[in-house]
Amino acid sequence: MNSRFPSIAVFATGACQRQDFVARLRHALAFARSAAQDGFQQLSTELARTIASQALCLQCHGTREDIRPEARAAIQAAYPDDKATLFLAS
């Protein structure tokens, strides 16, 4: 930085460094907020995926071996794009 007054050049340089520091700090805080929100959304998605299932549930939501053929046919007729299967007992 060029200054007409060398005695204040240090203060002017310090001010520029502080402005740069503040700008970088704001950017870091914005990134941290975004990462925290993404992390919360991922965590809530993971928690939503963790659904306890019992033997009764598996009659319609279990593996191919768990679902009786007549139940599977009824489910496919009512829900052709059903993806709520392949659950295991938990």
SS3 2: coil
Report yes or no: 16 and 1 within 8 Å, Cβ to Cβ: yes
The residue among 74 and 55 whose pLDDT is bigger is: 74
Q: What pLDDT score was predicted for residue 29? A: 79
Distance CA 21, CA 81 (A): 53
- What tokens were used for 42? 């991922």
What average pLDDT does this structure show over 18-41?
A: 75
pTM of the model: 0.43
Distance CA 61, CA 55 (A): 10
Distance CA 18, CA 45 (A): 40
As a whole-number percent, the residues of the chain with pLDDT over 70 amount to 66
What is the average pLDDT score of the chain? Answer: 75
